[in-house]
Amino acid sequence: MTEWLLLLALLPERFLACGLEQARADNRAAAQACLEAGLRIAPHDPRFLRELAGLAFLREDPAEAKRLLHRAARLDPADSYTQDFLGTLYFLDGNTLAALKFWNRAGKPRVDSVSLPASAPLSVRRVLAFPPGQSLHRDDYATAAARLAALDVYAAERLTLAASAGEGFSLRLAAVERPAWALPVGLASGLPYRTLYAHHGPASAFYRWRPHLRRGWASWTVPWGASPGRFWHASFDHRDETWNQGAGDFPFRFWQSAIEMATVASGRLTWTLGAHAARRTAGGFSLLEHTSLRTRLLHLPERGLRLDWTARGEAGRLFGSGAMGGVESGLALVRRQPRSAASLHLRTGRRFGPIPLDRLYLLGMDRDHDLRLRAVPGLADGRKGQAPAGRAFALVNAGFERTVLRAGLTRISLGPFFDTGYTDRWYAATGLAAGVEPLPGVRINLSYGWDLRTRRPAFFAEQPFPGGPAPFRR
């Protein structure tokens, strides 16, 4: 009996030795058979999984190699070879964050140099001031990427790693500069909506001369001193609109000035603190302070999955009417793959005290806010006042999109959506949404859907404006 038990205990070692011997002889089929036989006898031995992953990599099946290595990592999390191998596979995929997640567990990678475009401004150089010869942690990488995005210097940018001499790497900024024609093209892109858009460096502005919906908006964003990740943001907003809430047309004019300080504390946390003063024709003068934060609750870069939470609070006074304020919160769950993306956004908010027209939450298709309820009209005959509105709201946006065309820098995606929201009652809409990206940093969103309450179809097109009014900022 003892001899049989000893023989059984030695079988996995014999199959492992057989697999390694056949692999060295480049007899991959025999090596695969030996290793799979050993894995059946010892399913909790990570060595078989690691060697099978190596064979999968040699036959150019990285997905199978990753699957086997993840099983091995669960059985033996402390094995540096497994973590290093996983990091390398994600690095070859171009998924730098996932590569860093696993490389960091193996004490890698060492960054020997940082390569920047010759025209990179001082603010970019401060963000990427990594000391040479030290390991690059994924949190530091994510923080640098978030601060670069906040600087908004380039049309598109990406931080990549490139192998250098020995076992070191070079951190490189691959950036697409805004060409000279970007400003006139941006100005012309809003002409179908009777709008001029301008975005250059720290300044952004747009002007709309559409009847009943005239609006001018401008902002200026600059880094705060020598501290990377801190910014001052100032804006001015003026609206000259016509509203109709069922009892005839009436004019509404609105002026607002705002200033805030934003801090990109890390790749997981951003917070702002600011104040805005507003005056309107109906409602008088108000002064509000606000604070907001955005934090990443979950991030699995190897699965393309992230979960973000946002919150905002404000308090102040509408002079002559009393105290006012509000709270808002949102969750965003996104899974992004190389050719597809799925998203689920949940948002809710409530405002307290007196509610002038500009403080109402409006749902529907309206380019003046981002509370999208696609296929539900936000305007009636070009006038505001008929959209779902209230002092409180709840909104759910769900969608899936898949790339259907990629030609050079151009990409087109298509997929279904479902939106539902509540103000005075529940609304719901469903249909198809498309995203057209003719150039890096430029996207046009199209949707065609049906309001499930009225069963009427509607088409909507918009171009997200870089540097434009932030979510919840009304």
| 291 & 409 share domain | yes
Spatial CB neighbours of 450, under 8 Å, sequence gap ≥ 6: 375, 429, 430, 431, 456, 457, 458
| 453 & 375 share domain | yes
Predicted local confidence at residue 470, as pLDDT: 46
pTM listed for this prediction: 0.90
Predicted local confidence at residue 4, as pLDDT: 45
Domain-embedded: residue 251: no
Domain-embedded: residue 184: no
Predicted local confidence at residue 431, as pLDDT: 96
Instruction: Quote the domain boundaries for residue 132.
Output: 110-176
| 51 & 147 share domain | no
Classify residue 158 by burial, with Cβ atoms within 10 Å: 0-12, 13-18, 19+.
Answer: middle
| 125 & 52 share domain | no
Predicted local confidence at residue 467, as pLDDT: 53
pLDDT, tens digit (0-9, with 9 covering 90-100), for 111-135: 999 999 888 888 899 998 888 888 9
Predicted local confidence at residue 473, as pLDDT: 34
| 380 & 340 share domain | yes
| 81 & 171 share domain | no
| 97 & 166 share domain | no
| 280 & 294 share domain | yes
What's 130's domain CATH number?
3.10.20.310
Report how many domains make up the chain: 3
Rounded Cα gap, residues 86 and 5, in angstroms: 35
Q: State which amino acid sits at residue 241.
A: E
Average pLDDT value for residue range 83-100: 94
Rounded Cα gap, residues 462 and 448, in angstroms: 12
Domain-embedded: residue 412: yes
Report the run of H or E that residue 229 belongs to, with start and end: none
Predicted local confidence at residue 184, as pLDDT: 80
Predicted local confidence at residue 7, as pLDDT: 46
What pLDDT band is residue 60 in, cutting at 50, 70 and 90?
very high
Average pLDDT value for residue range 317-329: 94
Report the run of H or E that residue 89 belongs to, with start and end: helix 80-93
| 166 & 293 share domain | no
What pLDDT band is residue 389 in, cutting at 50, 70 and 90?
very high
Least-confidence region, from 174-178, 300-304, 348-352: 174-178
Rounded Cα gap, residues 316 and 209, in angstroms: 32
Rg (C-alpha) for the chain, rounded Å, is 28
Rounded Cα gap, residues 405 and 403, in angstroms: 6
What's 385's domain CATH number?
2.40.160.50
What's 95's domain CATH number?
1.25.40.10
Rounded Cα gap, residues 119 and 354, in angstroms: 50
Q: State which amino acid sits at residue 73.
A: A
More confident residue, 5 or 54: 54
Domain-embedded: residue 212: no
| 89 & 142 share domain | no
The separation between the first and the last C-alpha atoms of the chain, rounded to the nearest angstrom, is 80
Average pLDDT value for residue range 421-433: 94
| 265 & 308 share domain | yes
Domain stops at, among 105, 139, 163: 105
pLDDT at 465 over 80: no
Rounded Cα gap, residues 222 and 123, in angstroms: 10
pLDDT at 235 over 70: yes
DSSP string over 47-104: HHHHHHHHHHHHTT-HHHHHHHHHHHHHH-TT-HHHHHHHHHHHHHHT-HHHHHHHHH
| 55 & 119 share domain | no
Domain-embedded: residue 182: no
Average pLDDT value for residue range 337-358: 94
